[in-house]
Amino acid sequence: MTSHFDKDKYKEIIKKESLTQNMIVEKLKHYGIEISIGGVKNWTRTSLNAQGEIYQPELETLKALADICKCSIQDFFSDADVKREQIAFEELSKKPEKYSNSALSSYLLSIPNGEKLKKLIESFHNLTQEQQDELLSQVQDMALQNMKF
């Protein structure tokens, strides 16, 4: 799965933060980013730029937007929830002893597919060390393939 800037997620985040497009232009100036109101409006449109690509903010602009909106850069992309789940699974699988059962259970129940992930981790503990290592390697390979932009 390839990540794409998601104009709908962007709009949702901006709305949640009660930001207007004019406010975004002004706030980006504080980060040394000069952009016109038209440039900001393009991020919410499906029109294409001269290279035939959908308009999206540059990386430095995404960093500033994430800071302004108090979120992660990944939150502006189409597969943010999937990536978070992959990262959580990898972290929990590598060091499950790091998390107490109650904290782990609470966390897992708060994320999409958390119940399935909890059952998967419980099953993981029933595998031999060799099986766990092999499974982790396969999961990491799949995650890396999915995280390519």
Residues 72, 102 within the same domain: no
pTM for this predicted structure: 0.53
Residues 71, 84 within the same domain: no
Could you list the residue range(s) of the whole structural domain that residue 137 is in? Answer: 80-144
Residue 149 lies in a domain: no
CA distance 93 to 96: 6
List, for residues 95-129, the tens digit of each pLDDT value: 666 555 556 666 666 777 777 777 887 788 888 88
CATH code, 13: 1.10.260
Sign of CA dihedral 111, 117, 122, 127: negative
CA distance 22 to 2: 30
Write down which residue in 41, 76, 111 finishes a domain. Answer: 76
CA distance 145 to 7: 24
Residue 1 lies in a domain: no
Residues 34, 66 within the same domain: yes
